[in-house]
Amino acid sequence: MSDPIVGIVMGSDSDWPMMEPAAQALAEFDVPWEAHVVSAHRTPRRMLDYAESAAGRGLRVVIAGAGGAAHLPGMVAAATPLPVIGVPRPLDRLDGLDSLLSIVQMPAGVPVATVSIGGGRNAGLLAVRILAAGDDRLRAAVERFQADLAASVVARDDALQQ
Residue nearest ligand RP5, CB atom distance = 11
Closest alpha carbon to 116 in 36, 5, 2, 18: 18
Contact between 94 and ligand RP5 by CB under 6 A: the answer reads no
Q: Yes or no: say if 88 and 96 are a contact pair by the CB < 8 Å rule.
A: yes
157 is in an annotated binding site: no
Determine if residue 34 is left, alpha or beta; phi over 0 gives left, psi from -120 to 50 gives alpha, anything else beta.
beta
The least CB distance from residue 46 to ligand RP5, in Å, is: 13
Q: Does 112 bind ligand RP5 (CB under 6 A)?
A: no
Please say which residue, 12 or 122, places its beta carbon nearer to ligand RP5: 12
Beta carbon of residue 106, minimum distance to ligand RP5 (angstroms, whole number): 17
Alpha helix segments (H runs only) across the chain = 16-28, 44-54, 72-78, 97-104, 120-132, 136-160
Residue 15 near ligand RP5 by CB under 6 A: yes
Among 4, 8, 9, 11, indicate the residue that binds ligand RP5 (CB under 6 A).
11
Question: Is 60 annotated among the ligand-binding residues?
Answer: no
Known binding residue 15? Answer is yes
Q: What separation, in Å, do the N-terminal and C-terminal C-alpha atoms of the chain show?
A: 46
CA-wise closest residue to 19 among 42, 5, 38, 47: 38
Write out the residues near ligand RP5 by the rule CB under 6 A. Answer: 10-12, 14-15, 39, 66-68, 89
Please give the annotated binding residues for substrate, written as ranges.
12, 15, 42
Please give the annotated binding residues, written as ranges.
12, 15, 42
